[in-house]
Structure 1
Amino acid sequence: MPKVTPFRAVRPTRDKVGLISSRPYHHYTQAEREARLDNNPFSFLHIVNPGYKYHKEISGPDRYELVKNRYQEFREDHIFIQDEKPNYYIYRLIDSEKHVFTGIVAATSLDSYKSNLIKRHEETIAHREDDFKEYLETVGFNAEPVLLTHPDNSALAEIIKEVTQDRPEYEFTTTYRDTHYLWTLDDEILLKRIQEEFSSMDHLYIADGHHRSASAYQLYEELRKKNPQHTGNEPYNYFMSYIIPESNLKILEFNRLIKDLNGLSKEEFLIKLDNSFRIQNRKSTYYRPLEKHQFSMYLDGEFYSLHLRKLNFKIENSLSHLDAQVLYKTVLEPILGIKDPRNDQRLDYAHGKKGMPHVKGLVDSGAFKVGFGMVPASVEEMKNIANEGLTMPPKSTYIEPKLRSGITIYEY
């Protein structure tokens, strides 16, 4: 059964947590990053963007070494401290739309991941997996937990309710109007009860963070083989996770953007699409699909609705029912020649929070030739695909919550 344990997190001091926490680096525009770096010396962005100190963009291994240096400076200045005892951490996020996410930050066994007790549903992009493994090995810490989920559990809910009656260790609101709370939990009885509840579950499911977990697993395999005194208790045997019930998940779609039509004219492309879809030209009218197997397409200044011709498409399993897979099997692979969505540089993604208007803007700019939108996958689809041992194409789901970096840190 899945092994989920408490750990000694490295955390900001209470007075600075609101200043330190940041969204992931790539979630900011350059102007937003620079504003925060210019005006907030405690932002976690100073750690992950170490070239700012030298007014220079730095990438690759050189950047990783500098990230390690900046992090150690924060540790040496006691901006970060490490808990003396292992804890579970109850984390609650209330977003600007008043959606409440509450779960447990913990260390999850990579042996459980290896044994498929932590089920995966999505393919990773190979170079991102390799890059992040190298990053973890160099910097020696991870500041963004993998999002795991489980069926709603009344015993865990009761423990969380009990713990959250007390004052949280952290409580702060961001400029994005999200409010964050963190409670530390080191009571031996409650720690044991939580661990027993997780160990009684058949599986946990990765909701978000497939690259982070895959990279952590790569690092685990490498360090395990290098260590003749390996015991299974070393920090590299685990990865930091945020574990929430299924009912808390919020799933959005990832839209697809393609840079060219694979040598086809617009008319030739539409004719090929007609074999698989009932097509309607919506002109300049924005179209958003409402049901499974319906797609929005933006091409040459116009929106189209694409409805799958189900008699021409064979659904064999949970994966082939998934809209991202339908699009891949009917359009991306056979018509546009995208054989490897993990690595093809002609394919890119835009998450559903930005919507098709964002896709339209990118196509109109000339950066892409065509864009596709779809409805979000469901939790049940995600679980069914994982249970059948299948994997979705990369970027099939955009899942919230998205936690901020630098609130709990796991050291290797």
Structure 2
Amino acid sequence: MAQVLPFRAIRPHQKAAADVAALPYDVYSRAEAKEAVKGHPLSFLNIDRPETQFPDDHDMYGKDVYAKANEMLEEERAEGIFIQDEQPCYYVYELTMDGRAQSGLVALSSIDDYLNGVCKKHENTVAKKEADRIHHVDTTSAQTGPIFLAYRAQEAIDALIAKAKKQTPIYDFTADDGVIHRVWIIKEEADIKALKDAFAQVPCTYIADGHHRAASAVKVGLKRRKEHPDYTGNEEFNYFLSVLFPDNQLKILDYNRFVKDLNGLDQDTFMNKLSKIFTITPSDQSHPTHKGQVKMYLDHRWYALDVKDAIAKVRDNDPVDRLDVALLQDEVLTPILGIKDPRTDERIHFVGGIRGLGELVKDVDQLPGSVAFAMYPTQISELLAVADAKRLMPPKSTWFEPKLRSGLFIHAFER
């Protein structure tokens, strides 16, 4: 069963919360991050991406860069920008985007749950990206970006979170992108016990977003265990910062594909090969309407590609094969377009659904001979099924919105 514990969050003073809260560190390139912090000295992105404090040619992975993150965090704590609750608490974090709200519980999850498969994953991680966060977490002795976890909804937990939301929120602000953020604190001992007991009935949790943050937090925890061979398991470094959402509140957006060329094929040959897999019909610029349908933009035209029944039937026997992103990879990207490893092939890039289909049109129109594929979103039930089967999704299978803000909750642990 899942260990989900309260903690003493380091968090911004109420008046500073809106200025501190920042989008996750990994949604920005280096140049974008540096631009984003201009005129925003309290934005947590300054600490999450400390290379923004150095010249552009400075090694962004240098030890002095991570030391700067620690220095800024300590300075802001000393200045009273951040406070720390005196007793362990849970926190309810509600995000509302386009009128749709989702409420998660901010808490600590166990690194042992991650290691033992109670906290399930569905993606591989990249060593270089892990190393960056390992150095950041290890140098600051703090987890600054929460891992986005999901669990199968439980009525008892829903009721306790609904009760907490009847109080006055400690944070209530609208970010520049229009997303509304509200936070409530749960500090009554009876409510904390009830939530802890309710989560003790949850058999497993799932990493929805933040695989690199989770892997990094776990590896730093294991490092601290080696440094403290007499550890008991109760130390803070045995846990990582998380926000847990019930599966029935989550929405996954499409994650689309742009390919720079047709792998040496002329358009007629390419379309002929596609016709063996899909029924192809002209379409307008609109999202796929159902599973098994992909929209394609090629040579200033949109097409609907509907997978043929015989192929869909064969693929339906496996939780990974039945994913639309796997269908496209296995039947089109690899055998026809020659993209064997989408993680490393420079001919493909991925466009999050939040950018809209217009981004695909722009990309293709700017590069004659290219093609784009608009995907039907992966469903949360599919994500859970893949993780339950201890399998991995193709890269860039899910795009979650809204994004959890960094800086609202920090989990510090022993050096």
Structure 1 Cα separation of the partners of residues 111 and 140 of structure 2:
19
1:136-185 deviation digits (Å, cap 9, x = unpaired) = 22333222211112222222222222222222222222232322221222
In structure 1, the residue matched to 2:306 is 307
Structure 1 Cα separation of the partners of residues 277 and 307 of structure 2:
6
Contact 1:90–1:160 at 8 Å: present in 2 too? yes
Within-5 A mapping of 1:256-275: 256-275=257-276
In structure 1, the residue matched to 2:196 is 195
In structure 2, the residue matched to 1:19 is 19
Residue identity in the other structure for 2:328? L
1:6-57 deviation digits (Å, cap 9, x = unpaired) = 1111111112111111223454699986676343332223323444445546
In structure 2, the residue matched to 1:219 is 220
In structure 2, the residue matched to 1:172 is 173
- 1:66 is matched with which residue: 64, 68, 81? 68
Once the 2 structures are TM-superposed, how far is the Cα of residue 281 of structure 1 from its aligned partner?
Answer: 4.6
Once the 2 structures are TM-superposed, how far is the Cα of residue 401 of structure 1 from its aligned partner?
Answer: 3.4
Contact 1:125–1:394 at 8 Å: present in 2 too? no
Once the 2 structures are TM-superposed, how far is the Cα of residue 275 of structure 1 from its aligned partner?
Answer: 2.5
Structure 2 Cα separation of the partners of residues 336 and 66 of structure 1:
45
1:291-313 deviation digits (Å, cap 9, x = unpaired) = 11111122333322222123145
Q: What is the Cα-based RMSD across aligned positions, in Å?
A: 2.6
In structure 2, the residue matched to 1:294 is 293
In structure 1, the residue matched to 2:87 is 85
In structure 1, the residue matched to 2:151 is 150
Structure 2 Cα separation of the partners of residues 28 and 252 of structure 1:
19
Provide closer, same or farther for how the CA distance between residues 393 and 259 of structure 1 changes in structure 2, counting only shifts above 3 A.
same
In structure 1, the residue matched to 2:40 is 40
Provide closer, same or farther for how the CA distance between residues 36 and 246 of structure 1 changes in structure 2, counting only shifts above 3 A.
same
Once the 2 structures are TM-superposed, how far is the Cα of residue 320 of structure 1 from its aligned partner?
Answer: 1.0
Once the 2 structures are TM-superposed, how far is the Cα of residue 66 of structure 1 from its aligned partner?
Answer: 2.4
Determine whether 1:363 maps to 2:364: yes
Structure 2 Cα separation of the partners of residues 243 and 368 of structure 1:
44
Structure 2 Cα separation of the partners of residues 65 and 185 of structure 1:
33
Once the 2 structures are TM-superposed, how far is the Cα of residue 344 of structure 1 from its aligned partner?
Answer: 3.4
1:189-247 deviation digits (Å, cap 9, x = unpaired) = 22111111111111112222222222223333344344422322232321111111122
In structure 1, the residue matched to 2:6 is 6
Structure 1 Cα separation of the partners of residues 186 and 281 of structure 2:
56
Name stretches of at least 5 consecutive residues in structure 2 with no aligned partner. Answer: none
Structure 1 Cα separation of the partners of residues 273 and 128 of structure 2:
32
Identity of aligned residues (%): 37
Once the 2 structures are TM-superposed, how far is the Cα of residue 377 of structure 1 from its aligned partner?
Answer: 1.6
Provide closer, same or farther for how the CA distance between residues 139 and 262 of structure 1 changes in structure 2, counting only shifts above 3 A.
farther
Structure 2 Cα separation of the partners of residues 251 and 213 of structure 1:
20
My pick for the range that moved more, 356-365 or 340-349, is 340-349
Contact 2:2–2:119 at 8 Å: present in 1 too? yes
Provide closer, same or farther for how the CA distance between residues 275 and 220 of structure 1 changes in structure 2, counting only shifts above 3 A.
farther
Give me the TM-score of the superposition, normalised by structure 1. Answer: 0.90
Contact 2:259–2:372 at 8 Å: present in 1 too? yes
Provide closer, same or farther for how the CA distance between residues 134 and 334 of structure 1 changes in structure 2, counting only shifts above 3 A.
farther
Q: How many residues get paired? A: 409
In structure 2, the residue matched to 1:255 is 256
Contact 1:126–1:343 at 8 Å: present in 2 too? no
